[in-house]
Amino acid sequence: MKTVNQSLEALNDFLKENSITGTLTYRSEISHLVRCGRSQISLNVSEEGEKIFIELQKGKKKISSSSTFSLEKIAEIKEQITALYEKIEFMPEVEHLTPLKPIHEGDTDKHVADKKISNIDSNIMIDLFKAIDHEFTNDDVEISGAFSAGEYSYCVINSLVDKCLSYQGTDFNIEVVLQLLKHDKKELRSASVGENLSQFNQAEIVKELRTLFDIKTTTTREDVEPGEYDVVFSAHAFAELTNYMGYLTFHGEAYQYQMSMLNKETQKVGSKIFGENITIVDDPSDSDILFGRPVGINGISRSIFPLIKNGVLSNMFYSDKDTCDRFSLEVNNDANVSSIKVETGIGPSSFDEMIKSCTKPTIFIPYIHYMNFTNPAKGEFTGTSRFGTFLVNEGKIQSHLYNVRLNDSYMDLFNNIEWLSSQSAHINTSDTYGMRMASSITCPKFVKINKVKITGTSAPGRG
Amino acid sequence: MKTLFNSTLELLKENGAEYADIRFHKSDLTESISTLNTDINEYAFHDRSGLGIRVLYNGAWGFHSTENHSAESVKNCAEKALEKAKSSSTFMKEKIQLAPKEKYIETYNTPINTDPFTIPTKEKIDFLIELDKKLSHERFDYWGVNVTFYKREIFYMDSEGSEITKNLLEIDASFFASAQDVDQQKQSRNFILFQEKEGTVGWDNLLSEKQFLQTERIKNELLAVLDAPECKEEICDVILLPEMMALQTHETIGHALELDRILGYELSYAGGSHVDLEHFNELQFGTSKLNAWADGTLKCSPGSYGFDDDGVKAVSVQLIENGKLRNAITSRQMIVEANKKANKEIFKASGAACRAQSYSNFPIERMNNINVDFGNDGSIEELIKSCKNGIILESPKSWSIGSNRENFHFATEIGWKVIDGKISHVVRNPTYRGDSLKFWNSLERVGDESTWQVQQVFNCGKGQPNQVMRLGHGVPVCLFKDIQIGN
């Protein structure tokens, strides 16, 4: 990163020499991905990319651009800056635009890149799928999945400071799905995420798949009627619910534009919006989370940031200067690099304990597929369960259900939590759109929620 | 670069590659302009360039990409791709084979009248700000226009002798207005630029009242939604206007018929398909009124690209004929594999639907233009007239689909209740859902040519790493019988 920092600082000096006000952001990635399909390797790819993002401001005018970056292209980038600055004259003035502010200055650079991930040998990734194939040789399963690993970095500077802020990190995320060809094409899944290769545990993945396989092959298919059910969500399913709920609750920009599920007139920071057993925090210094990034891509310094404290809304992320200018607010964080944690409770933490605890009819949902908002203003959503939905009763798994469709609201769900596990898990929440950027949510291993609305199932004719 | 690429492909062959190709994005430009409440919200210009090399070795794929165009970097990129293919080949149960294709040395250009990149920036901004102003209303809190111009020059070369240059241009344009409804909930109306059957792709589309300048209609519709009653839960007929027909076609025909998905390659991420290989030429996918195509030859659409990233020339493939399932969205690799698995020849040739988002991505089966033929059940007015109790739905608000595309739940921005052949009133927050096959088998009326238009899609996601694809859907207005709404 040192060379990149120096180059960006040289470009920043060029801005200053030419009395140009602006921000320069560098982003890079090295990504490797091995994909398995039909029990063999279907993709083995890698990519490298470096980009520079230029944002210029002149009085009440602004303009931006991006291009591929390399250290050899510094002269070319200077020409781009000059051309862009000339073009800013054509931009109309934006009344609410406030002057650029300095980015954070100080020794907050943090680099946690594991070079074993950056330069991973694809044979390590392929070996995982070989091991799974070996384990299930006689079980008539189709193996699919992806093992993604890589390095990413960002570096930001603006014309009001002299030094860059930067971050470099690595991550891997793995998901493996088995389709049981002799068992009604039931599916099961194991997934894991980490920031250094020592957190990758091949044996544990194979063991989890075997456990799930044994459960799936000894339970019969059943269907449930639509209605309200008590549901235990796995960490994966609950992280997905939290992630989507977060879009509609924690993003101050959405709140200001009245696109969140909170009513601007009646629900503000300080309002109790969820049940008392819910506490959510973003703390980059927490050793219990993954990807703690002390600086934002927007150049802000990050520290502990409570979001929900015992059901009360404590903060919202304001990451975007333009929105803040429009509503006379200050940028207070960068949601793009947050790693939120849902605090644990006192509920069961192992799968066996969780099953034993369900003495009344309860549905277990390990994963939510294709969630989407049906009415964001009310926090209403839909999505289906996937990879093994169980009906649990009298402390035992009673049957393997068809995937169920949920139609409910985050407001209801986060107000109806019966218990949260006493132990937590890290769940990958990064999408792979655009440049690599690791993301995860740390949340309880299981969460039980009462009165969840099930409106249909994937049983033939029940959509 | 051509000489360098040629020698690189030769080197790969000398080192044991059965097949290799290079996709070079010589230039890849994006210009985005957005307005918000009559201010410029964003002006951004993005410029990228790079290349990706795909190698087949011992029946296995390897791929690497780089943004450095030096001879040394290209050689290094090829070596890495070959090394990956060699690693992959250690865990292959059936070696990958590619279906035959013709060799092409050709150029494809998107048909355009006026290249938007030739219009002065100020002229573009002034036009969009003027359009933005037309969207304002005292009841609206936000409104704006978003336009993105894409221009790419791509050179493709493969070890089978093809050399293809593509000059592609697309315009993704939309506008919106939003406001609080009677219950203080956010409501929006969006309008997305579509294509007429005989239009062109270019700046001129934005100037057309038929295509883009529909601000008054959208404003009036939003105003109607704000005070409208909630959509009630019932089973009734559903008339889908083009934007919803495009979504319905996309999610429950398009994705369900991607051959890699049918074979199980997307299982761990996007999901599978309720369609199996034995369903081809057997399954009644819809009523006899349903005729659907994967048409790469449509004149103007983001789903028309001349040649796919296998170097196969665009064709039009009938997916569903009078309701019967006939074909899939296919590539060279998948048709060989599917025929082998089915133990018979279901697929005769690649449908030229293998595409990558950019040079840094590996090409996979992607929709091109998944179209539904227009029918002879009349105009929109005649379809409404034929409906006793129903609802007209338009503009996707949200969508969620089962992992095998077997069922769906969609919400739309606006609905018009139809009673006894007449529009009765607008409804708020409409939704509908169903089983995919049951739904297409309830297709009762298909609108005529006057209802058919090409909807552009710029946000289709698939694959790992996720690739966002541009495509189109030529669709008519259709009426479906007895559908669950408002739940």
Which pLDDT tens digit goes with each residue over A114-133?
999 999 999 999 999 999 99
Look over chain A and give the mean of its residue pLDDT values, rounded to a whole number: 94
Q: What is the pLDDT of residue A363?
A: 98
Pairwise CB contact (< 8 Å): A37 & B47:
no
Same domain, yes or no, for A64 and A29? Answer: yes
Gyration radius (Cα) of chain A, Å: 24
Which of 147-176 (A) contact B at CB < 8 A? 148, 175-176
CB B336 within 8 A of CB B97: yes
Q: In this structure, what token pair is assigned to residue B250?
A: 């996309």
Q: How many domains does chain A have?
A: 2
| CATH number, residue B76 | 3.30.2290.10
Determine whether B341 is exposed, middle or buried from the number of CB atoms within 10 Å of its CB (0-12, 13-18, 19+): middle
Same domain, yes or no, for B238 and B222? Answer: no
Same domain, yes or no, for B310 and B195? Answer: no
In-domain check, residue A121: yes
Which of 49-108 (B) contact A at CB < 8 A? 49-50, 52, 60-68, 80, 83-85, 87-88, 90-94
**More confident site: A73 or A372:** A372
* pLDDT over threshold 80, residue A431: no
CA pair distance B349, B101, nearest whole angstrom = 8
Same domain, yes or no, for A317 and A447? Answer: yes
B53 — phi, psi (to 5°)? -120, 130
* pLDDT over threshold 80, residue A379: yes
Pairwise CB contact (< 8 Å): B67 & A49:
yes
pLDDT digits (tens, 9 = 90+) for B401-446: 999 999 999 999 999 999 999 999 999 999 999 999 999 999 999 9
A224 — phi, psi (to 5°)? -120, 155
Pairwise CB contact (< 8 Å): B265 & A257:
no
pLDDT digits (tens, 9 = 90+) for B114-124: 999 999 999 99
Same domain, yes or no, for A288 and A356? Answer: yes
- Domain that residue A113 falls in: 2-216
Pairwise CB contact (< 8 Å): A66 & B44:
yes
Pairwise CB contact (< 8 Å): B44 & A65:
yes
The residues with which A49 forms a beta bridge, in sequence order, are A29
Q: What is the pLDDT of residue A462?
A: 55
Q: What is the pLDDT of residue B113?
A: 87
CA pair distance B331, B310, nearest whole angstrom = 8
* pLDDT over threshold 80, residue A107: no
Residue A354 at interface with chain B, using a CB cutoff of 8 Å: no
Task: Please report which confidence band the pLDDT of residue A73 belongs to, taking 50, 70 and 90 as the band edges.
Answer: confident
Same domain, yes or no, for A200 and A348? Answer: no
Gyration radius (Cα) of chain B, Å: 24
Which of 80-119 (A) contact B at CB < 8 A? 84, 87, 90-92, 94-96
Same domain, yes or no, for A175 and A280? Answer: no
Q: What is the pLDDT of residue A432?
A: 65
Average pLDDT over residues A356-378: 95
Query: From the list B49, B260, B465, which residue is nearest A68 (CB)?
Result: B49
Same domain, yes or no, for B201 and B241? Answer: no
pLDDT digits (tens, 9 = 90+) for B44-95: 999 999 999 999 999 999 999 999 999 999 999 999 999 999 999 999 999 9
pLDDT digits (tens, 9 = 90+) for A52-70: 999 999 999 999 999 999 8
> At a CB cut-off of 8 Å and minimum separation 6, what does A130 contact?
B90, B91
Same domain, yes or no, for B62 and B197? Answer: yes
pLDDT digits (tens, 9 = 90+) for B318-353: 999 999 999 999 999 999 999 999 999 999 999 999
Q: Within a 10 A sphere around the Cβ of B422, how many other Cβ atoms?
A: 10
Q: Does the interface predicted TM-score (ipTM) exceed 0.90?
A: yes
In-domain check, residue A462: no
Same domain, yes or no, for B178 and B277? Answer: no
Same domain, yes or no, for B143 and B256? Answer: no
Residue A265 at interface with chain B, using a CB cutoff of 8 Å: yes
Same domain, yes or no, for B246 and B343? Answer: yes
Same domain, yes or no, for B403 and B263? Answer: yes
Q: How many domains does chain B have?
A: 2
Listed residues B226, B256, B288: the one ending a domain: B226
Listed residues B189, B210, B226: the one ending a domain: B226
Per residue, the 3-state secondary structure of chain B, as one string, reads: CHHHHHHHHHHHHHCCCCEEEEEEEEEEEEEEEEEECCEEEEEEEEEEEEEEEEEEECCEEEEEEECCCCHHHHHHHHHHHHHHHHHHHHHCCCCCCCCCCCCCEEEEECCCCCCHHHCCHHHHHHHHHHHHHHHCCCCCCEEEEEEEEEEEEEEEEECCCCEEEEEEEEEEEEEEEEEECCCCCEEEEEEECEECCCCCCCHHHHHCCCCCCCHHHHHHHHHHHHCCCECCCEEEEEEECHHHHHHHHHHHHHHHHEHHHHHCCCCCCCCCCCCCHHHCCCCECCCCCCCEEEECCCCCCCCCCCECCCCCECCEEEEEECCEECCCECCHHHHHHHHHHHCCCCCCCCCCCEECCCCCCCCEECCCEEEECCCCCCCHHHHHHCCCEEEEEEEEEEEEECCCCCEEEEEEEEEEEEECCEEEEEEECCEEEEEHHHHHCCEEEECCHHHCEEEEEEEEEECCCCEEEEEEEEECCEEEEEEEECC
Same domain, yes or no, for A351 and A373? Answer: yes
Residue A218 at interface with chain B, using a CB cutoff of 8 Å: no
Q: Which residues of B449-486 are buried (b: 16+ CB within 10 A; e: fewer)?
A: eebbbbbbbbebebbbbebbbbbbbbbbbbbbbebbbb
In-domain check, residue A463: no
Listed residues A184, A216, A248: the one ending a domain: A216
Same domain, yes or no, for B286 and B204? Answer: no
Percentage above 90 pLDDT, chain B: 93
Same domain, yes or no, for B48 and B86? Answer: yes
Listed residues B226, B260, B284: the one ending a domain: B226
The residues with which B107 forms a beta bridge, in sequence order, are B165
| Residues of B with Cβ-Cβ distance to A31 under 8 angstroms | 465
Same domain, yes or no, for A142 and A251? Answer: no
Same domain, yes or no, for A277 and A183? Answer: no
Task: Please report which confidence band the pLDDT of residue B175 belongs to, taking 50, 70 and 90 as the band edges.
Answer: very high
Q: What is the pLDDT of residue A343?
A: 98
Looking at the complex, report in whole angstroms how far the Cα of residue B442 sits from the nearest Cα belonging to chain A.
Answer: 13
Average pLDDT over residues A321-335: 96
Task: Please report which confidence band the pLDDT of residue B200 belongs to, taking 50, 70 and 90 as the band edges.
Answer: confident
Same domain, yes or no, for A187 and A227? Answer: no
Percentage above 90 pLDDT, chain A: 90
Same domain, yes or no, for A103 and A228? Answer: no
- Domain that residue B436 falls in: 234-485
In-domain check, residue A172: yes
Same domain, yes or no, for B222 and B238? Answer: no
Torsion angle, alpha carbons of B344, B346, B349, B350, to 10: -120
Q: What is the pLDDT of residue A105?
A: 85
Q: What is the pLDDT of residue A461?
A: 58
Pairwise CB contact (< 8 Å): B48 & A68:
yes
Cβ-based contacts under 8 A for chains A and B: 241
* pLDDT over threshold 60, residue B299: yes
CA pair distance B371, B294, nearest whole angstrom = 6
Residue in chain A nearest B87 by alpha carbon: A123
Same domain, yes or no, for A327 and A246? Answer: yes
* pLDDT over threshold 70, residue A318: yes
Same domain, yes or no, for A169 and A248? Answer: no
Same domain, yes or no, for B192 and B320? Answer: no
| CATH number, residue A75 | 3.30.2290.10
Task: Please report which confidence band the pLDDT of residue A251 belongs to, taking 50, 70 and 90 as the band edges.
Answer: very high
Listed residues A182, A216, A250: the one ending a domain: A216
Listed residues A216, A233, A264: the one ending a domain: A216
In-domain check, residue A378: yes
Residue B401 at interface with chain A, using a CB cutoff of 8 Å: yes
Look over chain B and give the mean of its residue pLDDT values, rounded to a whole number: 96
Looking at the complex, report in whole angstroms how far the Cα of residue A152 sits from the nearest Cα belonging to chain B.
Answer: 15
